[in-house]
Chains A and B, each alone.
Chain A
Amino acid sequence: ANMKVVLILSALLGASLCLETFVGHQVLRVKTKNEEQVKQLQLLESLEHLQLDFWIKPSAPALPVDVRIPADNVQSVKAFLESRGIEYSILIEDLQDVLDQERQEMAKAAQRARSSGFDFGTYHTLDDIYAELDHLASEYSFVEKIQIGQSYEKRPMYVLKFSTGGSARPAIWLNAGIHSREWVTQASALWMANKIASGYGTDSFITSLLDRMDLFLLPVANPDGFVYTHTSNRMWRKTRSKIPGSVCYGVDPNRNWDAGFGGPGASKNPCSDSYHGPSANSEVEVRSVVDFIKSHGNFKAFLTLHSYSQLLMYPYGYKCTRPADYVELESLGRAAANAIKSLYGTTFQVGPICTTI
């Protein structure tokens, strides 16, 4: 009696969860010879209790008719066809077998895609990085790829948005590769994207962060420069914009911000690797970021990655006065440096940009 209850319950449960199975269902291909036979099939079609599922409906004698027949009715339908001399062949012996095999193949393919996937521990080209952004966005429902603009040479600027809900939640911006030769930063950004995406739901820190805030990650802030480091000059740092009146190319995008523009640490010489550019936000790569952040209106933090050195720094760079949030920034910096050190002993020096670098 218990067994029966269990069976009935599971059947009901199965139905409510839409767990249809096609065990024993057969798919027949029927070859009609004349109009009369077509009419016979149309008669069969009208018998609802048979639950026939016509994949190709009977219409004209010359055309084949494909029909799926539930297990219980396979014999009676075959008998019907045979008694009227209607030819048929078995397309699919057992539909469930085919579905099972298909599911296995799809699982294997997904497994293959995941394991022979992107090596986050090595350097990649821009194209490969961009392909992986698509992959991450497709693999995780809370990850979305957004284009925030185009570079000088018309390459798209892609940002990964991590958002588990809400509407314009307070956000963090993570910037990488603004200086194209600093290859470890673009690579690190992708590593972080993967770590954060795969950690949501299992890692308590990542989960609580993304449950409250959004993260915007720009892995290649200077795509033209990055391509140039692959094709021409590994040491290229700036953008690749043409400077009016100069034989030299490019602006240091990290001197192009509208904060202390043209001040100490930047050069007015177009040929310099720290050339600030003709005016603040003159570089489209910089302007795209500025416009996005300003129009969003709810950013709480901006982090940017550089190499080399091990420095964890906060404002200001262009002046040596303490920022309003100095105490919080210093203590946050210390906590972060301690966390980094706890892993492999790596030491980061903490302090304001002005005195640290």
Chain B
Amino acid sequence: DIKDVGHKYYLELELEDVQDKDSTVNCTAEVLYHLGNKNIAPDVQFTLEGEFKSTEEADHMFYTRIRSLEKELVAENIPDSHGHVPPELEPIRLLAWVASGHVIWQNSTENTQLQLAQIKHVKQVKRSDEYLQFDYLVLLHDMVSQEIIPWEMTVLWHPRDGVQVTRDSRQPRH
């Protein structure tokens, strides 16, 4: 408890590669939740004690595949009602998961608990530069209120630069 500032948490985490459960890296982090002003995202500082395996090859394959699509990629309900994700859409799902992590971080307080529930809709937007762009409508689940919150986000990705969320906007429930 930091007087007049907020609450700071010291964390020791074990990060696990979702695509390779045996690959783990330890991590230490400090998270500061600001007092009062609920519109500031918590501060996060972290240190990774190690490295994850390179995904260069898979990144390159995905990048090339999407760039060479004649028609822009469009998909919905990922996963579907039964929890299934078609294998070729798994990278799209992972991208959404990372991007929504950013959105969740920006909208978190000590009393929130948000999770990505489903990609309702995703549309690729072709760009003249080297980035891949996907416009997502995702559903976030708020554990506290139990609400399902639709959220739009524009995501850019490049193998070299990683993920960027350039635009995000909470939507009204339909």
Query: A122 — which chain B residues lie within 8 A by C-beta?
Result: 82
Query: A252 — which chain B residues lie within 8 A by C-beta?
Result: 146
Q: With both chains docked as a complex, state the minimum distance between the C-beta of A151 and any C-beta of chain B, in angstroms.
A: 20
Q: With both chains docked as a complex, state the minimum distance between the C-beta of B116 and any C-beta of chain A, in angstroms.
A: 12
Which residue of chain A has the shortest Cβ distance to B148 in the bound complex?
Answer: A235
Known: A252-B146, A273-B145, A273-B146. A235 touches B82 (CB 8 A): no
Query: A183 — which chain B residues lie within 8 A by C-beta?
Result: 81
Give the residues from 259 to 293 in chain A that come closer than 8 angstroms, CB to CB, to chain B: 267, 271-274
Query: B77 — which chain A residues lie within 8 A by C-beta?
Result: 234
Give the residues from 86 to 113 in chain B that come closer than 8 angstroms, CB to CB, to chain A: none
Query: A229 — which chain B residues lie within 8 A by C-beta?
Result: 81
Whether the Cβ atoms of B145 and A267 lie closer than 8 Å is: yes
Chain A interface bracket (under 10, 10 to 19, 20 to 34, 35 or more): 10 to 19
Per the bound structure, the CA–CA distance linking A237 and B142 in Å amounts to 13
Query: B148 — which chain A residues lie within 8 A by C-beta?
Result: 235, 273
Q: Does A123 contact B (CB under 8 A)?
A: yes
- Would you give the 0/1 interface string for B131-174, flagging 1 where the beta carbon is closer than 8 Å to chain A? 00000000100010111100000000000000000000000010
Query: B73 — which chain A residues lie within 8 A by C-beta?
Result: none
Q: Does B125 contact A (CB under 8 A)?
A: no
Per the bound structure, the CA–CA distance linking A229 and B82 in Å amounts to 11
Q: Does B41 contact A (CB under 8 A)?
A: no
Q: Looking at the complex, which one of B82, B117, B118, B146 makes contact with A274 (CB distance below 8 Å)? A: B146
Interface of B is mostly: loop
Whether the Cβ atoms of B146 and A234 lie closer than 8 Å is: no
Count of chain A to chain B residue pairs whose CB atoms are closer than 8 Å in the complex: 27
Query: B173 — which chain A residues lie within 8 A by C-beta?
Result: 271
Q: With both chains docked as a complex, state the minimum distance between the C-beta of B173 and any C-beta of chain A, in angstroms.
A: 8
Query: A123 — which chain B residues lie within 8 A by C-beta?
Result: 81-82
Q: With both chains docked as a complex, state the minimum distance between the C-beta of B170 and any C-beta of chain A, in angstroms.
A: 16
Which residue of chain A has the shortest Cβ distance to B82 in the bound complex?
Answer: A123
Q: With both chains docked as a complex, state the minimum distance between the C-beta of A163 and any C-beta of chain B, in angstroms.
A: 34
Query: A272 — which chain B residues lie within 8 A by C-beta?
Result: 145-147
Per the bound structure, the CA–CA distance linking A230 and B81 in Å amounts to 8
Per the bound structure, the CA–CA distance linking A122 and B80 in Å amounts to 13
Which residue of chain B has the shortest Cβ distance to A267 in the bound complex?
Answer: B145
Per the bound structure, the CA–CA distance linking A274 and B147 in Å amounts to 8
Q: Looking at the complex, which one of B117, B143, B145 makes contact with A235 (CB distance below 8 Å)? A: B117
- Would you give the 0/1 interface string for A183-196, flagging 1 where the beta carbon is closer than 8 Å to chain B? 10000000000000
Query: B118 — which chain A residues lie within 8 A by C-beta?
Result: 234-235
Query: B81 — which chain A residues lie within 8 A by C-beta?
Result: 123, 183, 229-230, 234
Which residue of chain A has the shortest Cβ distance to B139 in the bound complex?
Answer: A235
Which residue of chain B has the shortest Cβ distance to A269 in the bound complex?
Answer: B145
Give the residues from 42 to 83 in chain B that come closer than 8 angstroms, CB to CB, to chain A: 77, 81-82
Per the bound structure, the CA–CA distance linking A357 and B146 in Å amounts to 12
Query: B147 — which chain A residues lie within 8 A by C-beta?
Result: 272-273
Per the bound structure, the CA–CA distance linking A252 and B146 in Å amounts to 10
Per the bound structure, the CA–CA distance linking A114 and B147 in Å amounts to 41
Per the bound structure, the CA–CA distance linking A234 and B148 in Å amounts to 11
Find the residue from B82, B117, B148 having the highest chain A CB count within 10 A: B148
Per the bound structure, the CA–CA distance linking A253 and B8 in Å amounts to 37
Query: A234 — which chain B residues lie within 8 A by C-beta?
Result: 77, 81, 118
Per the bound structure, the CA–CA distance linking A123 and B79 in Å amounts to 14
Query: A273 — which chain B residues lie within 8 A by C-beta?
Result: 145-148
Q: With both chains docked as a complex, state the minimum distance between the C-beta of B37 and any C-beta of chain A, in angstroms.
A: 25
Q: With both chains docked as a complex, state the minimum distance between the C-beta of A270 and any C-beta of chain B, in angstroms.
A: 13
Per the bound structure, the CA–CA distance linking A330 and B143 in Å amounts to 24
Q: With both chains docked as a complex, state the minimum distance between the C-beta of B22 and any C-beta of chain A, in angstroms.
A: 14
- What residues make up the interface of A, taking CB atoms closer than 8 Å to B? 122-123, 183, 229-230, 234-235, 237, 252, 267, 271-274, 357
Given contacts A252-B146, A272-B145, could you give 12 more A-B pairs where the C-beta distance is less than 8 Å? A122-B82, A123-B82, A183-B81, A234-B118, A235-B117, A235-B118, A237-B146, A267-B145, A271-B173, A272-B146, A273-B147, A274-B146
List 8 contacting pairs A-B, 8 Å CB cutoff, sorted by A: A229-B81, A234-B77, A234-B81, A235-B139, A272-B145, A273-B148, A274-B146, A357-B143
Instruction: Please give me the 6 A-B residue pairs with the lowest Cβ-Cβ distance, nearest first.
Output: A273-B146, A235-B148, A274-B146, A234-B81, A273-B147, A123-B82
